[in-house]
Chain A
């Protein structure tokens, strides 16, 4: 299957117009010594029908979340995606366009991103949002870069209850930027007490944390501020119907994985990196930012703004190297948040809290299963201690039709993190408890 439309006559006619005799002559400037004188070692091309069969076969080897009841979380969640989201974000005028360098032909994407930025600010009670980053982990790395702008304040303190994948990503980025994330200890599944000296750039807290537990975020951010450091919160966007938003908790930079806002699980991507800050930091923000302005006739319109921060203008002095971002996921999040509205966001949050509380109760009724950290409050996800290694237990649950959670490294691998979204029914939760009982029997 090929998509170039040229007929043989077209090719001949166009070569003649250029003054060439063959297609090969178009490539004569490639030195003979580096030309590939053999076909690529790839299969022959196939028809559309054949590629669909091939990919259906591959997809069929996966056990997905319509097949197994999904209690897996740990940074990606099986929230419901209403039909409107991809009916709209999936319109090809959006998805086949690119970065809106020519605003007159890109008002659709620009306005949608302006609305996205607005909704992220409303959601988080922060003052300014950019137009998206890659994912939650890289958004955290960008937040750390943003916070490390005062000479002498270089250290990066990270709660031990931050998702290890985020910490690993920070460690990678830190090799270039010149820092090593320093972990402060866990106390009963929550971040302990960071020692914030005058050489600390930022304190990073995830709330709800990587165990799903609620952190004393206000107090931790107070410690960061008392030491003159910036407070960075990793938040869960769908917790903000019920939990106080990062702005109210006095976070300086709020970052999140935005997958749960209308984006599918997609085996980990494409997802959505969210970053929001105080207005003071707007000129240090990474990535695209859309601003409202007027045209020469005085009509309202939207443009990419503060581009002097960006790589295509500022080159090595840019605040980040990001160019292509996750615009389409941001548009999906915008449609999703508009679908939810304020009441929906609050109700959805209450559902998660209620269903997770019910699930925790049922699962800890199973003999031998206990909360990993007794009595700690959580949002939609909670950690359990199992009498057997979590990976073995998970295999048993899969045989019974459940993706029972994700294993944790804690308790010698006997710990399981269980996520319960609004999609999980009482019947499914009861079913998981029964299956767990069978597996452990």
Chain B
């Protein structure tokens, strides 16, 4: 036990971690620890047909080792686990690059309407007209927001959207008779970008950032040639800065015959203010779980629709939703010879898309623009409150919807790192920011407050960072020990990887 956990003062504890920390002895452990032979939760009606059997050669011997548990204990166990978890509904969640904004409850309700939730994906089109119309309308709205011609709603997540976009690039070049092998990506890009590049059969070419934290356009122009199929970029970039020379960048890529891909993880900042299509992007993916507030689900599901410019429409995945102008009927079309094919077994994460639809049309044109304004306002306001302690990594640029600060000066003075600050923030009642991303910034703290937080919350969070910063000087041991009040203290990740225990 550390000095700080026994008989600690209220001051050292902070206000305490904002999740459940204690359980009575009969409720601890995994669901299997609660299992007792003979207990059960399931029930079925009496069998109303003759009993039939599987042949012995393919039959299971013995039972699967699942828990035996009464419904009451099942409910108690997972309720307890949920209380050991922090979500947006619990409080402020400034996880940079993830847009942890409030998820409207009405979007949950509408996704559970039986006409959506109980719809089979292989029903005849004539029986799913409402679902197809929803997809068709959402596709058009997303195209208007991004400045694209058509979109596929099939990719179930942003990374799958990236792969979709890159396969479209591959198909585009192949159709033109060329086998380009490389994709340019900035050194500050999301890790999914280079991973997707490899999965799509390309090699990554890394483009350096300049002293302002923006793409070094001169270096880009020298790096790319006719072996480069395209560039992947997010704008604002992962440092939260707008690529001011975006038109020069897209023009340079187009000049060598390449395509430009917009990583839409950071679309929140520009809604209604500018559009990737107008900046010269050819392909855009959209993380609905970020910009359009579909819940993040503890790690998923998301949805990663991909929009493309006119010349790339033939390559979009199938099936596509089409409307017959004469009859107004909607249909799924699989017959597109240049299509890259299918990215998902059915139509993507439809239930997530229903939520995104609700969000887009609740806000409408002015509401979406306001989202961008308030998210950028909140980020700039919070940055102004903490930058004297944690300086901006690139102080000359104005942040958009998020900012990257650094704990490097603090580490140099006190030995306290961004990770220690993050852990202390837990004791002070908040979810920490993203830390150590982007990789190009030492001791990075990537903070994205989103538009749904009040000024009071931002003030209080700034105060928590201020307090942790002060404690780093006065009582560094406290920060090394943090968190003191969470359900668990710092976990031994090296042990987890060395002594693999991945199941009971």
Contacts and interface: CB of A to CB of B under 8 A. Distances in A.
A54 B361 contact: yes
Contact of A26 (B90, B299, B365, B376): B376
B1 interface: yes
B467 to A, nearest CB: 18
A1 B362 contact: yes
B371 A176 contact: no
Contacts, number: 703
Contact of A338 (B67, B102, B495): B67
B201 A172 contact: no
A308 B163 CA distance: 21
A4 interface: yes
A115 B90 CA distance: 23
Interface string B315-347: 001000000000000000000000011111111
Interface in B118-143: 118-124, 126-131, 133-134, 141
A411 interface: no
A426 B49 contact: yes
Given A30-B242, A34-B247, A172-B340, A101 B95 contact: yes
B100 A98 contact: yes
A432 to B, nearest CB: 13
A10 B127 contact: no
B342 A169 contact: yes
A346 interface: yes
B301 A338 contact: no
A8 interface: no
B300 A51 contact: no
Interface in A20-66: 20, 23, 26-31, 33-36, 39-46, 48, 51-52, 54-66
Identify the 6 closest CB pairs spanning chains A and B, nearest first: A268-B346, A59-B115, A108-B85, A45-B364, A268-B121, A61-B130
A81 to B, nearest CB: 9
B195 A267 contact: no
Contacts of A82: 41-42
Given A56-B113, A108-B83, A354 B455 contact: no
Given A97-B298, A135-B156, A335-B78, A48 B85 contact: no
A242 B60 contact: yes
A11 interface: yes
Interface string B192-210: 1011111111011000000
B74 A339 contact: yes
Given A91-B82, A102-B426, A55 B358 contact: yes
Interface in A77-96: 78, 82, 84, 87-96
Contacts of A3: 101-102, 104, 293, 451-452
Given A3-B102, A103-B491, A145-B199, 10 more contacts: A5-B452, A55-B357, A72-B120, A87-B75, A93-B86, A96-B90, A163-B345, A168-B341, A175-B341, A315-B194
Contacts of B122: 72, 74-76, 406
Nearest to A208: B58
The residue among B246, B360, B497 with the most chain A CB atoms within 10 A of its own CB is B497
B175 interface: no
Contacts of B344: 134-135, 137-138, 169, 268-269
Interface residues of A, number: 207
Contacts of A64: 114-120
B86 A320 contact: no
B367 to A, nearest CB: 4
Contact of A269 (B247, B352, B398): B352
B501 A291 contact: yes
B283 to A, nearest CB: 15
A126 to B, nearest CB: 10
The residue among A46, A136, A427 with the most chain B CB atoms within 10 A of its own CB is A46
Contact of B431 (A2, A105, A308, A379): A105
B186 interface: no
A324 B300 contact: yes
A404 B27 CA distance: 46
24 contacts: A34-B246, A58-B131, A64-B117, A75-B122, A95-B298, A96-B295, A97-B93, A122-B66, A136-B345, A176-B166, A176-B199, A217-B58, A267-B119, A267-B346, A268-B344, A288-B299, A293-B493, A295-B490, A295-B491, A317-B198, A322-B160, A324-B287, A324-B296, A335-B74
A347 to B, nearest CB: 6
Given A4-B371, A351-B47, A282 B500 contact: yes
B178 interface: no
Interface in A170-189: 171-173, 175-178
Contact of A5 (B64, B87, B454, B496): B454
A257 B297 CA distance: 18
A27 B492 contact: no
Contacts of B310: none
A28 to B, nearest CB: 7
B497 A291 contact: yes
B261 interface: no
A248 B57 CA distance: 12
The residue among B98, B134, B487 with the most chain A CB atoms within 10 A of its own CB is B487
B58 A214 contact: yes
Contact of B279 (A34, A305, A341, A426): A34
A68 B361 contact: no
B343 A172 contact: yes
A55 B374 CA distance: 27
B75 A84 contact: yes
B369 to A, nearest CB: 7
Contact of B300 (A318, A325, A406): A325
A345 B65 CA distance: 10
A162 to B, nearest CB: 12
B186 to A, nearest CB: 12
Contacts of A129: 502-503
A114 interface: yes
B491 A15 contact: no
B423 interface: yes
A347 B43 CA distance: 10
B71 A135 contact: no
